[in-house]
A and B are shown apart, each in its own frame.
Chain A
Amino acid sequence: MAAVTEAPPLAPAPEKKPPRKRGRLVPYWLLLPGILWLIVFFALPMIYQASTSVQTGSLEEGYKVTWHFATYWDALSEYWPQFLRSVLYAAAATVLCLVLGYPLAYLIAFRAGRWRNLIMVLVIAPFFTSFLIRTLAWKTILADSGPVVSTLNTLHVLDVTNWLGWTSGDRVLATPLAVVCGLTYNFLPFMILPLYTSLERIDGRLHEAAGDLYAKPWTTFRKVTFPLSMPGVVSGTLLTFIPAAGDYVNAELLGSTDTRMIGNVIQTQFLRILDYPTAAALSFILMAAILFMVTFYIRKSGTEDLV
């Protein structure tokens, strides 16, 4: 038989420490090496860079912190066209990535059937060919005498883009169009993968339910599919815009001096001209601008739990 009674008031038993208390330090030991790495090689450099940006001096005599904030002003007033260009090119590439990437992500998620895995592999596989080699391939594709340019010429597309200022003369290479095209190409997978992830989570029956409730396919897309894929859209656009805005490879390989982006300026200042304060200030402005835009964008789109 079992017995139950109301428990008598317990005599104050000698406090026995449970033996598992030492486990409290475990998370800190787990975090320590990695976080230390990030502090020393990510956070600390930011501080060094902030300090460098307000230093004056020269390579020969050394640099000193003089709180010379004028560097920021000088850098901005001299290089604002490159800043503006970076934002515009990155924004254009992001929009293009979304427009081009969405159908492919949708195709993989809902229409690919047994081809799904193969298409996924084909989307990811180019990653394994150095992106520089692939970017160089665009030089061939967009070559002045190549089939793409001559087709565009015959169709008078180039006349339109010339008029818009995206291209000049009979060329595509060394124009803004080529740079945006390269940026779009390079960051397209970063748009497709998050889009696919959020589309794949959508229950296919929702489409049927929407159809059952008198929604036409396009309405279903607008009212059901697209809103549900918003997390993917937000992280995809961020993953495209951020690296695109700081990129200098496409502008260097596919563009000309008229398409230089802020990344090119920072790279030149740092590695060739060796004007460290200006380079640090520019890089700081870029970082601040991007953090500001990203925060604003995340607030606006209401998805704050991206990580």
Chain B
Amino acid sequence: MSVLNWLKRHLVVIAGLLTLGYLLLPNVVVTVFSFNKPKGRFNYQWQQFSTDAWKDPCGVADMCGSLSISLQIAFWATIGATVLGTMIAFALVRYRFRARGTVNSLIFLPMAMPEVVMAASLLTLFLNLGAQLGFWTILIAHIMFCLSFVVVAVKARVMSMDPRLEQAAQDLYAGPAQTFLRVTLPIAAPGIAAGALLSFALSFDDFIITNFNAGSTVTFPMFVWGSAQRGTPVQINVIGTAMFLVAVLLVLSSMLIGNRRNKQKA
């Protein structure tokens, strides 16, 4: 009876942890199989332990090249989307203007649109314009779909900001430019950072839109997609594991630093 009671009381915790397990299971598999030494071209079955792939992560033709292209695109797409999106967010929160409704739906629709639709229509445009598909068309597409997410993230932050802070800055002899640089921007920074981080992740991991508009350029997700057909090198798992570990370590260390700083000040 007491076991049943315990189960009943912790049902939510158990169910939640099971879901967490479901979410993390593939990452565990990716990590374990980065130490595999597969027979044949595909890395789907466990054969024997080996660190070969970790010793030679770029040992597969073109993989590290595609990784570098993905990182470049993600970098520039993040910068482009963050700048344009932040500007829109400020206009939406801080000013009255005509056509606000149209602007809002133009921001909302890309987020409510299946990627394949945006991908196909953008390809139609590029084909009609006779544009050369490649790095630049991918970058254009990535800025386009990341923009809305930046707007949402920054807008939330700017909206929750007390307008009196900017008035206080003006009252204390800061002109419009100074007010923006010294007060508005620093306070909006966490929202902008969140938007930028999201953009980077979305761009780096995008496959569907990239696949349509890449031409012969191969990004890292496209490399993985191609290898699913031709054969999956173990190095893919090495890269996947490394990215996961780097992300977790970065977040955890920034949290630890934040905690310590708070403790010192308190």
Residues of A within 8 A of B (CB): 26-28, 30-31, 33-35, 37-39, 41-46, 48-49, 52, 100-101, 103-108, 111, 117-119, 121-141, 143, 145, 185, 188-189, 192, 238, 242-243, 245-249, 253, 263, 266-267, 270-271, 276, 279-280, 283-284, 286-287, 290-291, 294, 306-307
Contact = CB atoms under 8 A, between A and B. Distances in A.
Contact of B121 (A46, A132, A290): A46
B236 A271 contact: no
Contacts of A106: 12, 16
B88 A111 contact: no
Given A122-B23, A126-B24, A34 B147 contact: yes
Instruction: Identify the interface centre among A46, A107, A126, A137: most chain B CB within 10 Å of its CB.
Output: A137
A101 B228 CA distance: 29
B254 to A, nearest CB: 10
B168 interface: no
Contacts of A46: 121
Contacts of B11: 103
B255 interface: yes
5 contacts: A27-B97, A34-B147, A118-B252, A129-B30, A141-B25
Contacts of A143: 44-45
Interface in B126-155: 127-128, 140-141, 143-144, 147, 151-152
B206 to A, nearest CB: 9
B87 A137 contact: no
A111 B143 CA distance: 38
Interface of B: 11-13, 15-20, 22-27, 29-30, 33, 44-45, 84-85, 87-88, 90-91, 94-97, 103-104, 106-110, 112-118, 120-125, 127-128, 140-141, 143-144, 147, 151-152, 201, 204-205, 207-208, 211-212, 220-221, 224-225, 228, 232, 236-237, 239-241, 243-244, 246-248, 251-252, 255
A38 B12 contact: no
A133 B240 contact: yes
Nearest to A90: B114
Contacts of B241: 129
Contacts, number: 254
Given A132-B225, A185-B22, A37 B152 contact: no
Tell me the interface secondary structure of chain A in the complex: helix
Contacts of B87: 30-31, 33-34
A262 B143 CA distance: 26
Nearest to A108: B16
Contacts of B117: 246, 283-284, 286-287
A101 B116 contact: no
A307 B107 contact: yes
Contacts of B15: 100, 103-104, 107
5 nearest CB pairs, A to B: A246-B114, A107-B16, A27-B95, A128-B247, A34-B84
Given A267-B211, A286-B114, A307-B152, A100 B22 contact: yes
Contacts of B212: 267, 270-271
Given A131-B205, A131-B207, 20 more contacts: A27-B96, A31-B87, A31-B97, A35-B106, A52-B124, A101-B19, A122-B23, A125-B251, A128-B243, A129-B243, A131-B221, A133-B236, A133-B239, A136-B44, A136-B236, A188-B19, A192-B19, A263-B114, A267-B211, A276-B124
